[in-house]
Amino acid sequence: MRILKTMAALMAALGIGAATASDTEAADLENTIYLDLKDGRVVIELRSDLAPNHVARIKQLSRAGFYDGIVFHRVIAGFMAQTGDPTGTGSGGSELPDLQAEFSSEKHVRGIVSMARSRNPNSANSQFFIVYEDASWLDNQYTVWGRVTSGMEFVDNIRKGHPRSGEVDDPDKIVSMRVAADVN
């Protein structure tokens, strides 16, 4: 016990404090996205361990309000829901430069959030998709940056598009997308 008290006194003298629950909670909120849809909130755990540059981009765009009001322009039942294009056509992105791929061995299973891109592996910008069911053919070819931890039932409710193209008539929109640490 004496050693613990001595260590605590030494840490206090050096200005080193133990991590508190609120410190841990704040760190978790900094690595969480709140994606608000018409039916409710989707909570996404950010995976900076897999894709630090993509996570930084998602945070930057979310903090700027970039995603608010953007439609889910391509939604294929049993596959995925894609969004993040301000033009709503599937060919647009932010004004920021494209990102270099950060492919990983993370599997594309239900709830994974991954960046959309063109045929060029280094063309991800702002568009992303959420996987409805396992899609192993995407593994090691698209950058995984997050995982839905709650609210997947709200993703399931996004209006579906054409069975092949995924093109959606009267598409659902993102109500709001924010870094959780920024939400009061």
Residue closest to 152 by CA, chosen among 35, 54, 67? 35
> How many Å separate Cα 34 from the centre of its chain?
9
Q: If you average pLDDT over residues 173-180, what whole number do you get?
A: 98
CB 45 within 8 A of CB 34: no
184 within a domain of the structure (yes/no):
no
**Could you tell me which residue, 9 or 107, shows the higher pLDDT?**
107
Q: If you average pLDDT over residues 156-176, what whole number do you get?
A: 96
Q: Six-digit token pair at 51?
A: 């894709």
Count of structural domains within the chain: 1
12 within a domain of the structure (yes/no):
no
DSSP-based three-state secondary structure for 15: coil
CATH code assigned at 81:
2.40.100.10
Residue 145: pLDDT over 90: yes
Residues 6+ apart with CB under 8 A from 91: 85
Residue 184: pLDDT band with limits 50, 70, 90: confident
Say what the pLDDT of residue 95 is.
97
Q: Summarize pLDDT for 4-52 with one digit per residue, the tens.
A: 344 444 444 444 444 444 444 555 999 999 999 999 999 999 999 999 9
Say what the pLDDT of residue 4 is.
38
56 within a domain of the structure (yes/no):
yes
Q: Summarize pLDDT for 40-87 with one digit per residue, the tens.
A: 999 999 999 999 999 999 999 999 999 999 999 999 999 999 999 999
Q: If you average pLDDT over residues 149-161, what whole number do you get?
A: 98
48 within a domain of the structure (yes/no):
yes
* Residue span of the structural domain in which 74 resides: 43-179
